[in-house]
Structure 1
Amino acid sequence: MTVLGCVFYDHNIWLVAVAALVCLAGSSATIRLFNRAANTTGLQRAGWHFLTAVAAGSAIWCTHFIAMLAYDPGAPVGFDPVMTIVSLLIAMLGVQLGFILAASGLTRLAPALGGAVVGAAIVAMHYTGMMAYRVQGLVSWDMDYLVASIVLSVVFSALALHLAMRRVSWADKYLATGVLVLAIVSLHFTGMTAFQVSPMLIDGSFSNPSALQALAIAVAGVALVILGAGAASYLIDGSMRAESYEQLRHMAMSDSLTGLPNRASFNDHLDHEIDLAAETGGKVALIGIDLDRFKEINDLHGHGTGDEVLQVLARRMNKLLGEGEFAARLGGDEFAAIYRMQGPAELPNFLSRLETALFKPIRLDDFEVIPGASMGVAIYPDNATDKEALVNNADLAMYRAKADITRAVCFYERSMDEMVRARRNLAGELREALESNQLDVHYQVQTSLTTGEIRGYEALLRWEHPQRGFIPPTEFIPLAEENGLILQMGEWVLRTACARAASWEPPYKVAVNLSPVQFAHTDLPKLVMEVLRETGLAPDRLELELTESTIFADKERSLHMLRQIKELGVNIALDDFGTGYSSLDTLRAFPFDKIKLDRSFMSEVESSPQAKAIIRAVLALGKSLEIPVLAEGIETHGQLALLTTEGCDEAQGYLFGRPAPLQQIVTSGQLTLTGHNVAAQAVVIVRAETVEMNLIARSA
């Protein structure tokens, strides 16, 4: 009896090579598909586990089958078809259970336990396949090799899935592939060493080697097709993931309206350019861009037109960009550009191209707009040594350009920091002034031009600084709006003016200006009602003044609030009339009690026919709408004579009286404080001061 082992592979070594190729390709696809399954959930995980099981089971079974066909026992062989198919099913179902367990995360040992199940499935497939192997001879087994084959398969498979799930380094998946190949190969060849055959030629016939080889090639081909399908699924999914990731990344880093890079992309690019400049000793120019007339475009033509303007400007800027040039939309009408400076002479050319793109007219339907822009330039490292300072300095330069109507581009200068610090200091002092009662309300008389009688007084906030002296409202009111103090100041002025007016004799009206911030951040009708109730002032003696820009911030909401206030009996005056661009529409939408003609027309009325024509038109409009017109800024008798001739109802200005403290007006005899109302006023002032203290406490 001749004992035959694996030496018989020498006759079909090329089939062994095919088996090894199938095993390697299958193991590689299996590990990748398993990783994909482990990183998904739900139905996707189930689908990837199925593909993993098909690929792994096919690779293991085909490796075994091809290697068995390469094995020459020296006797006729055959295969039981039922057991052969059963071995394939065992391979697929067994490894699927193992992979599901390995990816379950039930315990830290789940990958190793799942790998052990895969190893056991490989063992079960191999020895079931050996049961399907029919050879004319006496078969015996070496139990030591048989047990060793089982141990090797289970141990190496457990290690393979442990490495696959660990993913500590990029090499883990390659190690996992190699160990899985080792698990399959060690099982087969060790098991075949345990398999011993003593040929018994019963009928004297031998199997057809050529037919068996052809069958092996067919099996290998089918295996590779199956593995190719699994690999293709993996690659297609990976490509789709990469494409989806790129789409999401583009969405996250791009402005949805204009397609330009957004603020996040801008920050990344600026960081990169600064790092590059630091390494190479180069320079980077940051240009802050703010459109000049974008709000006007929105208000006149609607937000849809505004969006279209932004898109046109974005396309223009994107088209002009070259190497080392970058533009982004930061939000609203705010843009930014980054320029990698090659030489000092090149930056002006880039700024000129930007200016051309931003100032070139845009034709939309039947009208044309010129957006224009203000640009501030700061250079790294000349003006700043880090990104935050660079951005801040570019903003400072941009605000300087916005304030200077003679130039569109402004470069950062160190003095700008001093101006910012001065404004910050003044803002702190304004907060202290509110807390220490440095603020006061002065009153300017409003006079009837028909009778010469006093109609009322406008309450005007004044600030007498202990060291700086008088600070004009045009300086500290915008500062209060920027720093969140305007709400406290506005409420304090309203309460103080109403409380003092409640004691006036005769009972003149008092006019109080409203800030746009009060419309946006407070329940104004409720506040007015509370102030009237607490001060005892009759509603018809209070006149609230507001500008058109206040209404346009949120026209529908503003007009609704004004109607509520008017229902209280309070008068509403439209201030600075004639300087806006929707005045007629505003008058049509809301029945104002008074129109205040802007003082800018008065300064030119004696020398400008156009200003005189505008005044006549406004006065005629007021008469046709039955709305009284008050002219502001009357300083000369010539101005007064013209207004009287044209039929203006009321006037206000230095010619009639400068703003003065209440006590000075009382001393002049223009009004008196009644005894009853003086007492009432004292109570109201105490209440107003209490409210003021509460506001200050809340702000602190």
Structure 2
Amino acid sequence: MSTLTGVENRMAMQLRLREIFEKNQRANDAVAVLWMDLDRFKEINDSIGHMIGDQLLCVVAETLSEALDRRGYVSRFGGDEFILVCPGANRAGAQAIAADVLGYFRQNFEIAGHTLSVTASLGIAIAPQDGRDADELLQHADMALYQAKGNGRNRAVSFTWSMKERFNRLHDIETGIRTALRDREMSLHFQPIFDLASGKVASCEALLRWTHPLLGSIAPRELIPIAENIGLINEISEWVLAEACAAAAEWPEDVRLSVNISPAVFQSADLPRIVISHLMATGLPARRLELEVTESVLLVDEPRTNAMLLDLRKIGLRLALDDFGTGYSSLSYLSAFAFDTIKVDESFMRIVNTSPETQAVIRAIIFLAAELGMDTVAEGIESDGQLSYASDTGFNYAQGFLLCPPVPRAEITRMLSESFDIGTQRSLRSRQLLRKRA
């Protein structure tokens, strides 16, 4: 028994589940496992103390026993995690139990004079279809719980085998990132950003590329969140800055470098020092480096964020607000933070020729940016119509596959040495497309 809550502990639960499995395998009976934890329990401990948290766990154990109503057994797995083992429960029965549990959590808990509003998340796995033994069933219930958390908490999610596939992929990527960093298997490609007035290349954005030995190419939108989650994003970002600055030092002096900075890295007080060290190591002038941040950076600790932006600006580099228009508070950021560039998200450009509403939003953004002395970049240009609209509407710059896809370091260095422009690139891309169609 758990000495705190009075319900079964982890070891007792595992023994009980194995006994049930041995019995049920002969009869092919169902057994359900519901893995539950409290949402944001750490916040309760941190704000009002561990003693209140412990009392809450005791009340939760009693609540779960009441919600189960003799349909199964309650155990405390550890921390704020509880496991319900329900012999004979099929998927419908398990979902009914989960609904009853969630119903009990709709009421507040009164603990030592504190009124606590607490929610819970549950993962459900059913034997024999979801697990061949007790350990596998528990693992799959845990995966379903992880999915419930990811879906917004305060809900129950049943295990599916696609979760197993995603878990295995996640594990392979996590392991692969560590190996790739150790063996320097990642690389950078660079995509030009063109000045629409002159047609010349104004800057190039550094884009991370990595090919997993088993899974193939891993897109940055998948790679970066995983790297953030396992605490390797700082190491990756330092490598990207070092490689990108070294590459840009070989380019013409009028071509800038753009580098995306993860929100996790942006919270590091060491960022200005890291940037300075790589600029000094490569000899790249600060005015030629532009750091791109997304709106999510600005949602956390506004005074601290503004101070960081000011520190970076003191170095002399430029700042860009990337993926602009995808958040809810974008307009307030334009006046609250000093950016040099606004990059309008490609989702706007994708429908700009068919959506009058999108056209109105873009015109407003360009007007505001001009009034505030900020440049604008149209991202994701993939058609002549999109390019014409960007030029006619007043964008300063454009970027996209129509103009030039991301290319390796050696190729971008060669292209820049040849002083190519929008005209030559469009002609080249047209010939490439014609050859593909032929």
Which TM-score applies when normalising by structure 2?
A: 0.72
Equivalent residues of 2:185, 2:210 under 8 A apart: yes
Partner SS, residue 290 of structure 2? strand
Look up the match of 1:491: 238
Shift in Å, 1:589? 2.6
Shift in Å, 1:600? 1.6
Question: Residue 640 and residue 337 in structure 1: after superposition, are their counterparts in 2 closer, same or farther (change >3 A)?
Answer: farther
1:664 aligned to 392, 403, 411, which one? 411
Q: Does 1:446 align with 2:193?
A: yes
Shift in Å, 1:497? 1.0
Look up the match of 2:210: 463
Counterpart CA distance in 1 for 2:399 and 2:318 is 18
Equivalent residues of 1:288, 1:394 under 8 A apart: no
2:331 aligned to 584, 587, 590, which one? 584
Write the letter of the residue equivalent to 2:394: G
Equivalent residues of 2:9, 2:76 under 8 A apart: no
Shift in Å, 1:339? 5.9
Counterpart CA distance in 2 for 1:330 and 1:609 is 55
Counterpart CA distance in 1 for 2:320 and 2:253 is 21
Structure with more relative contact order (C-alpha pairs < 8 Å, separation 6 or more) = 2
Equivalent residues of 2:291, 2:319 under 8 A apart: yes
Look up the match of 2:69: 323
Look up the match of 2:50: none
Write the letter of the residue equivalent to 2:89: G
Shift in Å, 1:452? 2.3
Look up the match of 2:172: 425
Q: Does 1:549 align with 2:296?
A: yes
Question: Residue 598 and residue 376 in structure 1: after superposition, are their counterparts in 2 closer, same or farther (change >3 A)?
Answer: farther
Q: Does 1:285 align with 2:33?
A: yes
Shift in Å, 1:659? 0.5
Q: Does 1:597 align with 2:347?
A: no
Look up the match of 2:89: 343
Greater helix percent: which structure? 1
Shift in Å, 1:522? 5.6
Shift in Å, 1:373? 8.8
Shift in Å, 1:647? 1.6
Equivalent residues of 2:191, 2:406 under 8 A apart: yes
Larger radius of gyration: 1
Equivalent residues of 1:290, 1:398 under 8 A apart: no
Counterpart CA distance in 2 for 1:527 and 1:668 is 29
Shift in Å, 1:528? 0.9
RMSD: 4.1
1:299-448 equivalent positions in 2, closer than 5 A = 321-324=67-70, 338=84, 340-341=86-87, 343-344=89-90, 345-353=92-100, 375-379=122-126, 383=131, 385=133, 392-400=139-147, 409-413=156-160, 416-448=163-195
Question: Residue 266 and residue 519 in structure 1: after superposition, are their counterparts in 2 closer, same or farther (change >3 A)?
Answer: farther
Counterpart CA distance in 1 for 2:132 and 2:144 is 13
Counterpart CA distance in 2 for 1:648 and 1:267 is 65
Identity of aligned residues (%): 35
Counterpart CA distance in 1 for 2:7 and 2:261 is 39
Write the letter of the residue equivalent to 1:627: M
Select between 571-580 and 339-348 the one with higher mean Cα deviation. Answer: 339-348
Equivalent residues of 2:34, 2:94 under 8 A apart: no
Partner SS, residue 203 of structure 2? strand
Question: Residue 582 and residue 271 in structure 1: after superposition, are their counterparts in 2 closer, same or farther (change >3 A)?
Answer: farther
Partner SS, residue 550 of structure 1? helix
Look up the match of 1:564: 311
Counterpart CA distance in 2 for 1:372 and 1:626 is 47
Cα deviation code 1:266-304 (max 9, x no counterpart): 98566555555556658442144687xx9xxx9xxxx9x
Equivalent residues of 2:377, 2:399 under 8 A apart: yes
Equivalent residues of 2:251, 2:413 under 8 A apart: no
1:94-109 equivalent positions in 2, closer than 5 A = none
Question: Residue 429 and residue 670 in structure 1: after superposition, are their counterparts in 2 closer, same or farther (change >3 A)?
Answer: same
Partner SS, residue 394 of structure 1? helix
Question: Residue 285 and residue 456 in structure 1: after superposition, are their counterparts in 2 closer, same or farther (change >3 A)?
Answer: same
Counterpart CA distance in 1 for 2:258 and 2:323 is 14
Write the letter of the residue equivalent to 1:285: V
| 5+ long unaligned stretches in structure 1 | 1-248, 254-264, 304-310, 361-370, 673-700
Equivalent residues of 2:376, 2:395 under 8 A apart: yes
Counterpart CA distance in 2 for 1:610 and 1:356 is 42
Shift in Å, 1:564? 0.8
Counterpart CA distance in 1 for 2:241 and 2:75 is 46
Equivalent residues of 1:289, 1:376 under 8 A apart: no
Shift in Å, 1:384? 7.2
Shift in Å, 1:650? 1.5
Cα deviation code 1:556-584 (max 9, x no counterpart): 33322221111111111111111122323
Shift in Å, 1:440? 1.5
Counterpart CA distance in 2 for 1:573 and 1:596 is 7
Shift in Å, 1:643? 2.2
Look up the match of 1:530: 277
Counterpart CA distance in 2 for 1:546 and 1:454 is 21
Equivalent residues of 1:665, 1:671 under 8 A apart: no
Question: Residue 391 and residue 595 in structure 1: after superposition, are their counterparts in 2 closer, same or farther (change >3 A)?
Answer: farther
Shift in Å, 1:439? 1.7
Select between 597-606 and 428-437 the one with higher mean Cα deviation. Answer: 428-437
Counterpart CA distance in 1 for 2:67 and 2:218 is 46
Equivalent residues of 2:33, 2:124 under 8 A apart: yes
